[in-house]
Amino acid sequence: MKRVLTLLDSTMINVGTIIGSGIFLVPTTIALYLHSSILTVAVWLVAGVVTLFGALSMAELGAAMPKAGGQFIYLRQAYGPLWGFLYGWGSFTVINSASIAALAIAFATYLGYFNPLTPFQIKLIAVLTITAFTVLNTYGVKTAVWTQNILTFLKIGALLAIATLGLSLPGGEAANFQPLLTTHSVTSLIGPFGLALMAVLWSYDGWIEITYIGGEVQNPGRNIPLSLLLSVLLIVAIYIVVNLVFIYLLSIPGIAGSELVALDAVAVVLGGFGTTLVILAILVSTLGGVHVNVLACPRIYYAMAEEGVFFQALSRIHPRFGTPAISLLVQGIWSSLLVFSGTFEQLITYVVFASWIFYAMSCAGVIILRRKQPELERPYKTWGYPWVPLAFIVFAALLVLNTIVNDPRDALIGLALLLTGVPAYAYWRR
């Protein structure tokens, strides 16, 4: 595969992955936990800083090992081949494939706003969407990336349009920012703020996507760290502005009582037309989410096959288009099967917290590899080392612990699903 992705391409891949449905849904959860406009904005800012710490840490690994596979490569180097395989196994069987299925179903469901669809029609449209993007990505990475750039620009434009309309048209009130602070004691806010922080961190997830496709980035020592930094900073700014507009239009109690915040907020200034605008924004957001995952994730399975620990056919590169065509095909088939199985939502519930285990391990890998491989060329070194990666590791550990404490059954099932990779790894090693 050729290095054809520019800094713009790399940044848009990350931004397109991060902006999903979270910004449209999570503000309601935050308002239910925190009854204060300042705390609401603060939790988005704190989560953004945590995400930035993770991005700054992972950027060192991405610049030092700019290969297809991302965390699969980093975990292999830091902890051994089993841990890299477990990450790739979890990504293929559930984490990424189920995410593609869920986003495709969300896209088809919201498409039903314009014309009612039966449950079967929704699944059929979801599978056709996955199939179309799989075929598109087979025909060359530049075509796929420009498609992603357009979708990401549309996502950003939709959110900025919501913010601009909310601020420029009559309907909002400065009084809606009251109460600025809550009357509750600081100690009583620790629990709710922590739960709100966990919810917001999910909305920032996906910032590592460019490392999956690191083998195709031009000047990776510069562009991978810069794309990680720029994408997170851009998302933090957009999320904070959009949340300020939501509060300005609805107030904290209004957000807490809203099922779809963006829809209700835009309806304040545009009425029924605002509903159509928000539905279109969600359609673009979910469609872009499907595409970027179809684009980037097969590089993980390609890297696994190249290392001899996955189906060998997945390591084949299309002789004409230079894409991991078999890996794309297999991912498309598996994601489509998950759509029709109807189990993808439950599978995501089981294992989504596991991605944060791998995040924490990868950031710890920055420290480990500084000791194990001091001679490794590092075009970029983590700013604030070792405190920045350590801070991210602590937050990731707290998030995982919170999931285990509050939902031990699903956490145990998720761990069991990941551990099915152990016999699979033994098979391929043998």
Predicted pLDDT of residue 135: 95
Q: Which domain holds residue 28?
A: 7-429
Percent of the chain with pLDDT over 90: 60
Predicted pLDDT of residue 83: 94
In a domain, 25, yes or no: yes
Q: CA 334 from chain center: how many Å? A: 20
81-85, 107-111, 406-410: which has the minimum mean pLDDT? Answer: 406-410
87-91, 200-204, 302-306: which has the minimum mean pLDDT? Answer: 200-204
Average pLDDT on 393-413 reads 83
In a domain, 1, yes or no: no
Predicted pLDDT of residue 367: 96
- The C-alpha atoms of residue 152 and residue 289 are separated, in whole angstroms, by 9
Residue 268 in contact with residue 172, Cβ under 8 Å? yes
The pLDDT-based confidence of 350 (bands split at 50, 70, 90) is confident
Average pLDDT on 272-300 reads 90
Is residue 222 pLDDT above 80, yes or no? yes
- The C-alpha atoms of residue 249 and residue 267 are separated, in whole angstroms, by 9
Is residue 345 pLDDT above 80, yes or no? no
Mean of pLDDT over the chain: 90
Is residue 187 pLDDT above 80, yes or no? no
In a domain, 2, yes or no: no
Predicted pLDDT of residue 326: 95
Is residue 346 pLDDT above 80, yes or no? no
Average pLDDT on 171-189 reads 80
Predicted pLDDT of residue 294: 95
Report which of residues 130 and 140 the model is more confident about. Answer: 130
Q: Tens digit of pLDDT for each residue in 89-124?
A: 999 998 899 889 989 998 999 898 888 899 999 999
71-75, 193-197, 224-228: which has the minimum mean pLDDT? Answer: 193-197
Q: Tens digit of pLDDT for each residue in 141-166?
A: 888 999 999 999 999 998 999 889 88
In a domain, 37, yes or no: yes
36-40, 60-64, 282-286, 340-344: which has the minimum mean pLDDT? Answer: 340-344
DSSP state, 170?
B
Predicted pLDDT of residue 94: 87
CATH number, domain of 270, equals: 1.20.1740.10
In a domain, 282, yes or no: yes
The pLDDT-based confidence of 249 (bands split at 50, 70, 90) is very high
Q: Which two tokens stand for residue 155?
A: 């996502």
Is residue 46 pLDDT above 90, yes or no? yes
Is residue 223 pLDDT above 80, yes or no? yes
Q: Which two tokens stand for residue 278?
A: 């928000």
Report which of residues 407 and 282 the model is more confident about. Answer: 282
Number of domains in the chain: 1
Predicted pLDDT of residue 216: 93
- In Å, how far are 5, 383, 385 from 60, measured between CA atoms? 19, 9, 10
Q: Which two tokens stand for residue 424?
A: 């699979």
In a domain, 125, yes or no: yes
- Note the pTM of the prediction, 2 decimals: 0.90
Is residue 389 pLDDT above 80, yes or no? yes
- In Å, how far are 166, 280, 346, 412, 420 from 366, measured between CA atoms? 43, 41, 33, 28, 27
Average pLDDT on 284-295 reads 93
In a domain, 399, yes or no: yes
Say which residues have a Cβ less than 8 Å from residue 320's Cβ, sequence separation at least 6: none
Average pLDDT on 324-337 reads 95
- The C-alpha atoms of residue 37 and residue 177 are separated, in whole angstroms, by 6
